[in-house]
Chain A
Amino acid sequence: MIISSTDACESNGLAVSSPSQGEPILDVRDLSVRFGSVRAVTNVSFRVSRGEFFGIVGESGSGKSITARSIIKLLPPSARVEGRITFEGTDILSASPDELRQLRGSGIGFVFQDAVAALDPVYTIGYQLVEACRAKMPGVSASQAHSRALSLLAEVGISDPERCLASYPHQLSGGMKQRVVIAAALIADPQLIIADEPTTALDVTVQKQVLELLQKIAAARGAAVILITHDLGVVAEVCDRTAVFYAGTVVEEADTFTLFKEARHPYTVALIESLPVLGVRKAFKAIPGSPPKVVEQLEQCPFAPRCDRALPECGARLPPETVSPDHRYRCINPYT
């Protein structure tokens, strides 16, 4: 059954849950982030279940990275955050610095986009991993931390972990560095791994390996993964469920198969159609215009100016969410 809620603020996608896994590990509800008068994120809600591979897809400036950083409260002081983020019962936005420190790493591991920037060039990989290990696990001896680092590097598929530990970041390839950063995120056995564009800087063959690695780790540890990407192809390959971001809001969320087969929102449809598909030669189909650079208020559908299905009402207010058991979208004239 499809229920159309009357107020955008009331709807929070509660009906959408993963079909395979049960209880949510992360619940983001009505998250809004502002920088001065700029709205980076507006009314974003989603849930991630244990063991789930959740995709967040969007273009630059769509608010996907800000959303990810909100989850571990890693935002600049100028950010004004509203809403609620609950991770395993802890309210993150009101958590104390001590609780946050506990949470980062142990509860939630974060893999940053730029593996080069995430590693300190003047220390060996070993030094950095051991340091992180001892910071996260008090009471662990140096040799225990060392062997922990070794086993993590082996887990992320580095063939000669000893040698890698003794290396400096510049001695490793891009794919190796990304593996090291993933290993660092795994140090304290997080229940949730957030990977922000982990493969954007990598070649496709290495990208494939890193994605398979994330899948393997998630399956082996029963951890949930939030994969942030601009590439619908990546989402299609690995994610169980996917939220599509546009102009700081979730325009559509569904099981990945459903999303690609029965996308409702014109932006999702246009995005899928604009992608070249390997092995299928077809004419390019472009989306006219460009995404808004800065969003100051969201009193209309942000995609309306570029939408070929737009109605006069689309400019009047932000469409409410239409929610069905495995699908939700913000559009008053959706594809059916």
Chain B
Amino acid sequence: MMSSPDIITLNNVRRTFRSGHTFSWRPRIVKAVDGISFSVRRGETFGIVGESGSGKSTTARMICGLERFDSGSIIVDGIDVGRLRRGDRLKFRKILQLVFQDPYAALNPHWKVGDLIAEGMRVHGIGDRRERRKRVLALLDQCGLPSDAANRYPFEFSGGQRQRICIARALAVEPRILVLDEPVSALDVSIQAQILILLQTLQRELGLTYVFISHNLAVVEQLCDRLIVMKSGRIVETGPTEEVIHYPSHEYTRTLVEATPIPEPSRRRRPAHV
């Protein structure tokens, strides 16, 4: 273990986009992320909650080094993400990996699953061909996939299985951090819990740190230790999950909590017919 309890630290990070017509004289400036600061502790699940346009995905992409930022600093496991050089970028990918929302778009359809999972190891020069093969099989097993999956193509798998493949691929280089961008919202309801359980198990076994981005407050509540609520590029509320959800201090958090449907008609907050 490293000395610092924080594995990710954002300090006053800003990111603006120019919007409006490409050739307009006065482009509109959109503050996608407007000066946010927070830290993620080693081994915890940290939630980023917000609606579309809140800046949560931009934040995630900046943490991953996929999006540059205008000012502020992002330190991930001692690495200054704003100053990544070409060579560092590869090293950085061994620390932090991503799982995307849409497992249908995230897997190259022309590649066999085994090659998809082994690619990261190959790029990083981990093991030889045989060792990589062995590790692919171990990863498949760990993620609840059959071992013959390695020789099949993504189209042969359902959405839930594909997300398992994406998770296995992310884990192949043994990262310390997984950034999960809405990992279950494209999946069928009956499959979501499977993937969330898998994520919990993997975290326990591997001591991973999760950054979990979601619009679904109910899912975040079950999974995350702490969270931030974002709106229009700013953090409106932050704290331990239970506290934020049960005693929201910001008006917007309260609105979100109240708008989340509760699957118990007896807790309906208004009569069926108004």
Contact = CB atoms under 8 A, between A and B. Distances in A.
A226 to B, nearest CB: 15
A271 B189 CA distance: 8
B179 to A, nearest CB: 20
Contacts of B245: 278-279
Contact of A236 (B192, B221, B259, B264): B264
Instruction: Tell me whether chain B's interface is mostly helix, strand or loop, or mixed.
Output: helix
Given A203-B51, A204-B260, A205-B259, A274 B266 contact: no
Contacts of B216: 276
Contacts of B192: 274
A236 B265 contact: yes
Nearest to B51: A203
Contacts of A285: 193
Given A230-B188, A284-B197, A287-B190, A238 B272 contact: yes
Given A274-B190, A276-B219, A286-B193, A53 B272 contact: yes
A216 interface: yes
Contacts of A208: 258-259, 261
Contacts of A121: none
- Which of A218, A233, A256, A271 has the most C-beta atoms of chain B within 10 angstroms of its own C-beta? A233
Contacts of B272: 53, 215, 238-240
A232 B268 CA distance: 13
B222 A236 contact: no
Nearest to B261: A233
Interface string B247-273: 000000001111111111110111011
A277 interface: yes
B95 interface: no
A275 B218 contact: yes
Nearest to B195: A286
B136 interface: no
A91 interface: no
A274 B187 CA distance: 13
Contacts of B19: none
Nearest to A239: B272
Given A212-B274, A276-B222, A286-B197, A257 B266 contact: yes
B274 A236 contact: no
Contacts of B160: 290
A60 interface: yes
Contacts of A212: 270, 274
Interface in A245-278: 256-257, 260-261, 270-272, 274-278
Contact of A278 (B51, B262, B274): B262
Interface string A181-205: 0000000000000000000000111
Interchain residue pairs A-B with the least CB separation, the first 6: A233-B261, A286-B193, A203-B51, A276-B218, A208-B259, A286-B194
